[in-house]
């Protein structure tokens, strides 16, 4: 009986060892799968961060250009605004590509137009001026109203009423 018990004990120990080894292999396969998934997740996060970094860099570059454009636009506007001949003219100003000034609108004379273009061109940071200004002399208002004949009847006084 002792031999039988010993054989049964050894068989039981062998079965437990075999089962334990199988569980270890199964856990190793699951561990490898989990590791692969974690690697994939890490790579996906890294790609996302790279894309986010690129987007932030592009956004910063656009913002920087916009701020530079505003600075140049303010300098040009100030120069045009403080010139007495140009100040009353309806001039629209736009800055593109951080250094190209576009002037639109109308001015009363060719001399005022040339002065506005020169002031914009000589502003720090401006490399090119696109002149889209029109010369429109101011219209004169002739006294005498819309009829302009002067033979309109004079208004009659209204007699006071006795109530």
Q: 94 is in which domain, residue-wise?
A: 70-135
Task: Mention every residue, 6+ apart, whose C-beta is less than 8 A from residue 42.
Answer: none
Query: Torsion angle of alpha carbons 150, 153, 157, 158, nearest 10°?
Result: -130
Specify if 103 maps to a domain. yes
The whole-number pLDDT of residue 113 equals 93
Residue 132, SS3 per DSSP: strand
Decide: helix, strand or coil at residue 93.
strand
In a domain, 155, yes or no: no
Residue 116: predicted pLDDT: 93
pLDDT score, position 20: 58
Distance CA 77, CA 67 (A): 15
Q: Is 47 contained in some domain?
A: no
99 inside domain: yes
Q: Which residues contact 76 (CB under 8 A, 6 or more apart)?
A: 93, 95, 101, 119, 120, 123, 126
The answer to whether 76 touches 120, Cβ cutoff 8 Å, is: yes
The total domain count for the chain is 1
Q: Which two tokens stand for residue 87?
A: 């100040």
Token pair 């137009």 is found at: 113
81 inside domain: yes
Let me know if residue 112 belongs to a domain.
Answer: yes
Q: Which residues of the chain have pLDDT under 70?
A: 1-3, 5-12, 14-28, 67-70, 140-163
The answer as to whether 108 is a domain residue is: yes
For the whole model, what pTM was predicted? 0.47
User: Is there a domain that residue 15 lies in?
Assistant: no
Query: What integer pLDDT is reported at residue 152 of this predicted model?
Result: 59
């Amino acid at each position: 009986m002792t031999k039988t018990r010993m054989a049964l004990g050894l068989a039981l120990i062998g079965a437990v060892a075999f089962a334990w080894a199988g569980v270890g292999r199964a856990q190793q396969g699951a561990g490898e799968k989990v590791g692969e998934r974690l690697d994939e997740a890490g790579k996906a996060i890294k790609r996302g961060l790279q894309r986010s970094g690129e987007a932030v860099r592009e956004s910063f570059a656009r913002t920087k250009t916009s701020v530079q454009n505003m600075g140049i636009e303010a300098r040009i506007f100030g120069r045009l605004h403080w010139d007495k001949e140009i100040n009353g003219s309806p001039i629209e100003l736009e800055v593109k590509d951080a250094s190209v000034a576009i002037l639109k609108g109308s001015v009363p004379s060719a001399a005022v137009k040339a002065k506005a273009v020169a002031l914009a061109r000589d502003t720090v940071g401006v490399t090119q001026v696109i002149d889209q200004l029109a010369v429109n002399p101011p219209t004169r208002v002739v006294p005498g109203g819309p009829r302009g004949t002067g033979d309109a009847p004079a208004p009659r006084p209204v007699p006071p009423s006795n109530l």
